Amino acid sequence: MSLIPSIFGSRSDPFSLDVWSPNFMSNNEVSTFANLQVDWKETPEAHVFKADLPGLKKEEVKVEMEEGRVLQISGERSVDKEEKGEEWHRVERGRGKFLRRFRLPENAKADEVKASMENGVLTVTVPKLLEKKPEVKSIQITG
């Protein structure tokens, strides 16, 4: 799997379901969407997703499970309003809607997902099913 992110999704990553459509977003929204970066790691106990969402409150972010196995992280970063007498010289921070989707593997417990947000970092933890170890029975050799 490539570690180089792509806003168009990755053909080599079967779990990537990034949504990108010129009809879905305006030009201002594309930069926010493209910059929503998510790390996904697998531990022995869970799949852990981390997304940097500086300046957003937890009420501005949605974490949803779609069709039982698709994790969806979405939200909107609002535009700062220009007050009378103020003039913006540069606007570089992303704004607008964002959406990322991930197809979870078969070993995910989709009904036990937990999400938390601390210091602008969203952490979504999806526990894994316990792996059944095959029962091994020793057979005595005679003769």
DSSP letters, the chain, are ---S--TT--TT-TTB-----TTTS-HHHHHHHHH--EEEEE-SSEEEEEEE-TT--GGGEEEEEETTTEEEEEEEEPPPPPPTT---S---S--EEEEEEEEPPTTB-GGG-EEEEETTEEEEEEEBPPPPPPP--------
Convert the pLDDT of each residue in 78-91 to its tens digit: 777 777 888 878 87
For the question of whether the overall pTM of this predicted structure is more than 0.75, the answer is: no
pLDDT tens digits for range 91-134: 777 778 889 999 999 999 999 999 999 999 999 999 999 877 88
